[in-house]
Amino acid sequence: MLNSEIMTASSATREIDRLPNHIAIVPDGNRRWAEQHGLSAIEGHKVGSRNLRNIIEYLNDYQIKYVTVYTFSTENWNRSEDEVRDLFRLSLAVIGKDALRFHKRGIRIRHLGRHQQLSLSLQRKINKVVGLTKENTGMTMSLAFNYGGRGEILDAIRCIIAEGIPPQSIDEKVFSNYLYTAGLPDVDLLIRTGDELRLSNFLIWQTAYSEYYFTDVLWPDFDEKAVDKALLSYSQRQRRFGGD
């Protein structure tokens, strides 16, 4: 990190007196950024992937404990066959390269989503990095890949039924233990870039009382200063959970 960036981070930290424990990110705008720069969609995704690595490391410097990123939704299968194929190839390369970098920083990686539709090579790569980092005690970074919030809830219901759990025994805590995010706390702050004002089927259950932060900045341009701005906005809010 450059000295100027360190100064920016330390200055921002002095102003931010309350940090979120769990941040969820919808990194939107890669394709629009590519179009603005006369590049192909996959080039935009490449730049976005590099930026994701930088932002994760910056949040790790803040000692944010949990970060969950929406990397590929179940609806993204509706994109062109070429773009889906390119995204999967990029994911294979990025997961392998960045996982080792994150591992050295003590970051634990989790996968949220359905494995079945993924290629065997991608399944093996995901399982490998999850196994490699499972004992790490730093940030937990969850990659929501082939993820959909409604599908997650349906999968949880199916598991509960299959295990024969009596209806009267099911409460919110029990139900949460059957979600992909079992063991993770609910989201404190959800950040979405790219000037889109919706959840897009992301962490429907886990964001019930989250603070939302929407920005028109496209993901490849969402830098450390933009992170500071989002965290400062969060710290200035008074969170309410229905009881006050």
Task: For residue 26, give the 3-state DSSP assignment.
Answer: strand
Least Cα distance to 193 among 35, 83, 36, 48 occurs for 48
Query: In angstroms, rounded to a whole number, what is the distance separating the alpha carbons of residues 228 and 63?
Result: 13
Task: For residue 155, give the 3-state DSSP assignment.
Answer: helix
Residue whose entry in the numeric block shows the structure tokens 């424990």: 21
171 is an active site residue: no
Query: In angstroms, rounded to a whole number, what is the distance separating the alpha carbons of residues 97 and 144?
Result: 18
Is 34 exposed, middle or buried (CB count within 10 Å of its CB: 0-12, 13-18, 19+)? buried
76 is an active site residue: yes
Task: For residue 71, give the 3-state DSSP assignment.
Answer: strand
Query: In angstroms, rounded to a whole number, what is the distance separating the alpha carbons of residues 84 and 48?
Result: 15
Query: In angstroms, rounded to a whole number, what is the distance separating the alpha carbons of residues 84 and 64?
Result: 31
Which residue among the candidates 3, 17, 21, 28 is catalytic per the annotation?
Answer: 28
Which residue among the candidates 54, 76, 136, 201 is catalytic per the annotation?
Answer: 76
Query: If residue 161 lies in a helix (H) or strand (E), which one and from where to where?
Result: helix 149-162
The count of C-alpha atoms lying within 13 angstroms of the C-alpha of 187, restricted to the half-sphere facing its C-beta, is: 25
Which residues are catalytically annotated?
28, 76
